[in-house]
Chain A
Amino acid sequence: MDLRAKCAIAGLGQTRMGKNFDHPNAMGFAAEAIKLALDDAGLKREDLDGLLVNPGITWAENTMASFSLQQAMGLRDLRLSATMGLGGATAGAMIMHAAQSIACGMANTVACVFADAPLKPPPPKDAKGKNGAGGSAAAYGFARGLNAAYGQFGVNAHYAFVARRHMDLYGTSQDHLGAIAVEQRKWATMNPEAQFHDAPMTMGDYHSSRWIVEPFHLYDCCLVSNGGCAVIVTSAERAMNLKKPPVYLLGMGQGHPGGDPMDTLLSGAPIAKETAFKMAGITLPDVQFTQLYDCYTFTVLVTLEDYGFCKKGEGGPFIADGKTGPGGSIPVNTGGGQLSSFYMWGMTPISEAVIQIRGEGGKRQVPKHEVGLVSGNGGILSTHSTLVVASHP
Chain B
Amino acid sequence: MPEVSKSPSIAKPIPSITPDMVTFFEGAKRGQLMVQKCANCGELRFPPHEICTNCLGTQAGWVPVSGRGEVYSFNIMHQVYHPGFATEVPYAVVVVKLDEGVKFVSNLVGVKPDAIRVGMPVEVTFEKMSDDVWLPKFRPRARS
Chain A residues close to B by CB (< 8 Å) = 137-138, 141, 143, 145-154, 157, 160-162, 164-165, 168, 210-215, 260, 262
Contacts and interface: CB of A to CB of B under 8 A. Distances in A.
Contacts of B16: 145
Contacts of A151: 12, 77, 81-82, 85, 88, 91, 93, 107
Interface of B: 12-16, 18, 21, 47, 72-79, 81-82, 85, 88, 90-91, 93, 95, 103, 105-107, 113, 118-119, 129, 135
A150 B81 contact: no
A149 B73 contact: no
A168 B118 CA distance: 7
17 contacts: A141-B81, A145-B16, A146-B15, A148-B82, A149-B13, A150-B106, A151-B85, A152-B105, A157-B75, A160-B75, A164-B118, A168-B73, A213-B79, A260-B103, A262-B72, A262-B95, A262-B103
A137 B118 contact: no
A contacts with B: majority SS: helix
Nearest to A146: B15
Contacts of B76: 211, 213-214
Contact of B81 (A153, A165, A168, A214): A153
A295 to B, nearest CB: 15
A149 B91 CA distance: 13
Nearest to B118: A168
Contact of B95 (A148, A161, A215): A161
A275 B77 CA distance: 38
Given A153-B81, A164-B118, A146 B73 contact: no
B33 to A, nearest CB: 12
Contacts of A262: 72-73, 95, 103
B14 A149 contact: yes
Cβ-closest 7 pairs across A and B:
A160-B75, A214-B76, A153-B81, A211-B78, A168-B118, A161-B73, A141-B81
A148 B12 CA distance: 8
B68 to A, nearest CB: 19
A146 B105 contact: yes
A212 B93 contact: no
Nearest to A153: B81
Contact of B47 (A146, A148, A153, A157): A146
Contacts of B135: 146, 149-150
B129 A149 contact: yes
A147 B90 CA distance: 16
